Structure 1
Amino acid sequence: MMAAFAVPVGILDRGAPLRGTRFLAQAALGARFGNSRPFQMVNVGACDGVLFDDVTPWLNRIPGSRAVLVEPIPYNQQRLRANYPDAQRFVIEPVAVTRTKGAIRVKTFDAAALEDGRLPIEFVGCSSITDTNLMSGKNAWGEADGNFEKFAPYLKDIDVPGDTLQDVLDRNRVEHIDAFLVDCEGADWMVFEQLDLKRYRPGMVKVEVGALPADEIGQVVVKLKTAGYKVGLYAEDVWAFA
């Protein structure tokens, strides 16, 4: 937190994740000094809330923070609850965000193979409703991926409940959002498209775009810029600040 406040604004403007760190550090300080409302996060595709996640763990640094953590994969739900045991503050929604309510088929990896190390740990967060490179073996780790045959036997399809983003927010009585995150392995625009930016106006938005086609990446950026957000890109993520 001290480092976040020490970074000059000129550097923050060149590094979107650094600006995100400053935003979250300010939220942590505000919560300690009596903000009138609790910090509220909505994370769609929360995985276990720790692995390869530079935002969700801030929930443990922001006193009184609350979150709706959307995660459809049962294995990840167990890990998520273990990492965020306070069910009063951290609600786990065991659904996939879809355009219409109803069951949906998701491609994921065998939980036992993840647990015993037969698969790389990063596969914990790689479930998808879309035919991403990882799920199809096309250029997953480079041209003509030679590793695909090694992990393909552990791929499986499961059926999970689906619901719209607005239904999830209404069900949890979300009236404001401070940080909105999307990491849905190729379904990211389909989720973010549903967020009413005018109504909720999150202070920070982070959308993973690494598995999106170019036109959907453009739609993410245009939606944010049109709403007046300051937008930055880093690695496979779009970061935006109101």
Structure 2
Amino acid sequence: MSRLSHAARIAVSLGLPAGLLDRAPALLGTRYLAKAAMRARLGRGRPFVMVNVGACDGVLFDDVTPWLHRIPNARAVLVEPIPYNQQRLRKNYPDTERFVIEPVAITRESGTIAIRTFEAEALEAGTLPIEFIGCSSVTDTNLMSGKDAWGKEDANFSTFAHHLKDISVPSEPLQTVLDRNRLDHIDAFLVDCEGADWVVFDQFDIARYRPGMIKVEIGALPAAEIGQVVVKLKTAGYSVGFYGEDVWAFA
């Protein structure tokens, strides 16, 4: 996003009446983050804390994580199991004291898990579309099973299928990761796990952390799990909106 369009989005989000913002969850998210930035610049309140599970490189197709650079003294736990993405993530967020990278996948039990991903060499060389950088998956999504988009019925499947590979990565429950980082509050909680989103979000203790903003990708989830995401948010008293493939929720 260019600086001009970013500034325009902030201006719009701060200027629109609440009734319209309620119909535009992404703009409501921008307003939430912009207000956090203003509070931080004025030295008000505790440091802003973000947890992003499935952080990728923290920049591509991500309109939330880059706010870590705009909110003074913001801190984050960035969970990313793919080594190639970890390298890009650290390059984009070099402050090791404020930005912790957790190189694990989130599962219900500790151990290791296989993830299907694209070869780093092909991504780096530009052989594959840039969006494939964020398409690793531990679940039976289109990427894993060869169905639907990017699958065997896709005319382009044969051009990229040979770049797919399975890697083994360490895995841990969500609370283990949060406890290790000694988090006593979370302001923004993000989940983008290409089909494992409910496995992650189901473990999140909303009552304990009560983040002001939650964003969960639902594009790769079956209908039943999308319903479970929404029910959990609604039951916790959050205002819920849909934009693209994401659920945005605000306390």
TM-score range, shorter chain: over 0.9
Equivalent residue in structure 1 for 2:148, among 139, 143, 146: 139
User: Which of 123, 137, 140 matches 1:128?
Assistant: 137
Task: Give the drift of 1:117.
Answer: 0.9
Please list the CA deviations of residues 143-188 of structure 1 after superposition, one character each: whole Å capped at 9, or x if unmatched. 9211111111000000000001000000000110000000000000
Which residue is 2:49 aligned to? 40
In structure 1, what residue type is equivalent to 2:45?
Answer: S
Give the 4+ runs in structure 1 shifted more than 6 A.
Answer: none
CA distance in 2, matches of 1:29, 1:56: 17
In the TM superposition, residue 7 of structure 1 has moved relative to its aligned partner by 2.0
Aligned residues: 242
Q: Structure 1 unaligned runs (5+)?
A: none
Amino acid at match of 2:112: A
Q: Within 1, Cα distance between the matches of 2:192 and 2:96?
A: 22
More displaced stretch, 87-96 vs 9-18 = 9-18
Which has the larger displacement, 131-140 or 191-200? Answer: 131-140
Alignment of 1:195 with 2:204, yes or no, is yes
Letter in 1 for 2:181: N
Partners of 1:111 and 1:34 in 2: CA distance = 41
For structure 2, the 5+ residue unaligned runs are: 1-9
Give the match for residue 227 of structure 2: 218
Distance 2:176 2:43 in 1: 31
2:78 partner SS: strand
Q: Secondary structure at the match of 2:215?
A: strand
Is 1:148 the counterpart of 2:157? The answer is yes
Looking at structure 2, the residues matched to 151 and 141 of structure 1 have their Cα atoms a distance apart, in angstroms, of 9
In structure 2, the residue matched to 1:228 is 237
1:50 is paired with a residue whose SS is coil
Q: Superposition RMSD on alpha carbons, in Å?
A: 1.1
Q: Which AA in structure 2 matches 1:10? A: G
Specify the alignment match of 1:22 in structure 2. Answer: 31
- CA distance in 2 between counterparts of 1:36 and 1:222 reads 31
1:187 and 1:28 map into 2 onto residues whose CA distance is 31
Encode CA deviations 1:86-139: one digit per residue, 9 max, x unaligned: 000000000000100001111000000001011100000000101211332211
